[in-house]
Amino acid sequence: MADHDLTALMAAQLDRHLVFPLLEFLQERQLYSRPEILEAKIRLLSGTNMVDYAMDIHKSLHGTDDVPEDMVKRRSEVVSRLRSLDEAAAPLVAFLQNPQLVQELRPDKQYNIHMLQERYQIGPDQIEALYQYAKFQFECGNYSWAAEYLYQYRALCTDTERSVSALWGKLAAEILMQNWDVALEEFNRLKEIIDSKNFSSPLNQLQNRIWLMHWALFIFFNHENGRNGIIDLFFQDRYLNAIQTNAHHLLRYLATAVVVNKRRRNMLKELIKVIQQEQHSYKDPITEFLQCLYVNYDFDGAQQKLVECEQVILNDPFLGKRVEEGNFVTVPLRAEFLENARLFIFETYCRIHRCIDISMLAQRLNMSYDEAELWIMNLVRSSKLDARIDSVSGTLIMTTNHINVHEQIIESMKGLNMRTYMLAKNIVEPAQQAAR
């Protein structure tokens, strides 16, 4: 099951803290053994200030109350460093926490810096301390505090590189707090900076774009407009280049987003092109499914891949998000993906064949005959196709034979077809049964 797990590749492009939600997901899915996941968490935590959390995991992993010496030592280091940073940042923090004093700030960075220095003897050292403190708090897992003070810091910071670094921190903190609207704003801010002409070297710019795409996946698969967002971003030349240069695995997310996004069907062709170009660098059941269907017209292959796609989605931390609906826990994206994928199979099939045996189609769609028939009826009714069902021979007959069945809709004919179909269903079939 872990065959198609991208976590290791993803983690290399994420902040450590952003990897935790992925590990939590993998743990819940039991894709790896519990000790493996807990070890990974401890390794991850060793690079943060979340020592108490690491200790808890260590205890639970080894079934003991003892913790290793280095964790104890690290804990006291963290506590004392936090104390000294707290002291260093105190004057500026006190200022920022006082609503009356904050009113003295204006939307003018130079003025503010000057004013703080003149009236409150708060200079570059205190401003720097605020950054260090906020960063340290982030490492402690105090994301709300970090977000607040990284924001304040940016308003006073004159060093471009530092300001960008603070923005990355703010973005991560908002993601971790699941503030998707704010995270989206910060993402846009960061993107604008990264895309600006004077941003660092081209190589650095490329790396920043790759990071940005990875981080943004959290937003794209949680924010209500994210499914358009990912398509808009990933298909931009510069970002698509970045994917094709050094982040091929992102094609899984782009492909999924295109499949489930009915309004962006027009991107399918471009997507298939990229998938084909990159097939030697990256493939998974999702990209293979599209390739089977649209490059090789291999329906059996596509059908097989679809079964694997379902597993990939269920086991992917971004795609397999669980949602409670009443007493059920569902994965909405899974259902949407399968529905759309079946539609793709069906449409492609209909493009090549004029007359389709429903039981054959049922098999292709992995449905029972009745299910398939109902499904087709719904399709016809919802104006997707010009087709009629001949229930005597159990076939679906395409009444137009155009390349794009979608474009050929004749409303009146369809109503008529439906009635004819129902008539046949109610009269012809009982008659046949009686004859038998």
Residues in contact with ligand NAG by CB under 6 A are: 137, 142, 145, 160, 196, 198-199, 307, 366
Cα→Cα distances 133→81, 89, 117, 241, Å? 9, 7, 20, 37
Q: Is 382 helix (H, G, I), strand (E, B) or coil?
A: coil
Beta carbon nearer to ligand NAG, 288 or 386? 288
* Bridge partners for 388 per DSSP: 397
Q: Can you tell me the distance from the alpha carbon of 368 to that of 373, in angstroms, rounded to the nearest whole number?
A: 9
Give the nearest distance from C-beta 40 to ligand NAG in angstroms.
24
Give the nearest distance from C-beta 369 to ligand NAG in angstroms.
14
Beta carbon nearer to ligand NAG, 160 or 393? 160
Look up residue 427 and give its DSSP letter: I
Q: Can you tell me the distance from the alpha carbon of 109 to that of 107, in angstroms, rounded to the nearest whole number?
A: 6
- Pairing of β 355-357 and β 395-398: antiparallel
CA atoms within 13 A on the CB side of 314: 15
Q: Can you tell me the distance from the alpha carbon of 379 to that of 387, in angstroms, rounded to the nearest whole number?
A: 10
DSSP 50-76: -HHHHHHHHHHHHT-S---HHHHHHHH
Beta carbon nearer to ligand NAG, 13 or 137? 137
Give the nearest distance from C-beta 339 to ligand NAG in angstroms.
13
Beta carbon nearer to ligand NAG, 81 or 425? 81
Give the nearest distance from C-beta 322 to ligand NAG in angstroms.
20
Q: Is 398 helix (H, G, I), strand (E, B) or coil?
A: strand
Give the nearest distance from C-beta 199 to ligand NAG in angstroms.
5
Place of tokens 């964790």: 71
Strands ordered across the beta sheet of 387-390: 355-357, 395-398, 387-390
> 263-293 b/e with 16+ CB inside 10 Å = b?
ebeebbeebbebbeebeeebbbbbbbbbbbb
Give the nearest distance from C-beta 303 to ligand NAG in angstroms.
6
Q: Can you tell me the distance from the alpha carbon of 326 to that of 96, in angstroms, rounded to the nearest whole number?
A: 44
Beta carbon nearer to ligand NAG, 74 or 425? 74
Give the nearest distance from C-beta 32 to ligand NAG in angstroms.
24
Beta carbon nearer to ligand NAG, 126 or 142? 142
Beta carbon nearer to ligand NAG, 32 or 149? 149
Give the nearest distance from C-beta 134 to ligand NAG in angstroms.
10
Beta carbon nearer to ligand NAG, 137 or 287? 137
